[in-house]
Structure 1
Amino acid sequence: MDIPVRSQSTGLNLTPLIDIVFLLLVFFLLTTHFIEEDGIGVRLPAAASTTTREKDEVAVAITRDGRLFVAGQQVHLSGLEQKLRGMLSSDTAVVIRGDRDVPLQTAVSVMEQTKKAGAARIVVATLEEAGAP
């Protein structure tokens, strides 16, 4: 009488490894903060003191040649107030991302229009200076 020989498969069970990788992926996706860049070439001025970005904000970019962009769309200074009115809520901050070579009068005019639109706070975006504490 012949006894049948069973061959045992000696494979590696990958299910726990896949579970761990999936959990790590979910963890990193939930804890990562994504920085939203508007893609407009603005060289920010440097400052010694900086703060972190706020969650509820609207960015206004001013390029070197004085063009204004809100949410990636070019806007004229006369239409800035109207454009911002529809985007602002009671606690929305307006972040002005002005190029370091923008004349002061242009920056002041933009701040004036954002204040007229009802901005609760106006923030000027800067880069942290090298060597700042």
Structure 2
Amino acid sequence: MLLDVGTNRKPAKISLTPLIDVVFILLLFFMLTSSFMQWRQMDLPIPTASDKPAEESEVITVRLLSNGGDVRIEDNTFNILANGVPAELMGDAEPLIAIEAEEGVSTQALVQLVDKLRLAGAEKVSLAGVLQ
């Protein structure tokens, strides 16, 4: 019995059209599901040691409490995040505002506090440290 080897067949061509369709569908999926939110940068200088003498300016220490947004300024407690910055805090002079955060304060609360102070006109805002 002889084996039928067959005639020389042409190899089957693979169509690239479905592959291109899949690539475009994936591209559309990732483009539509990704977020294009614009991030903004906030400068928050950290105090460092320096050789030059410091400028004499009023330093107001704002203590951010860990209870969710209250701040303590010279034994007075305010909720700046809900009520805004009190007028007596800013005053006429341009004070240096040093923020002390208690342990357990979220970064979001700290950023919101800095943002509220900047909106109220505070130019010199600095992070003093985290209190244990």
TM-score normalised by structure 1 residue count: 0.48
Q: Which has the larger radius of gyration?
A: 2
TM-score normalised by structure 2 residue count: 0.49
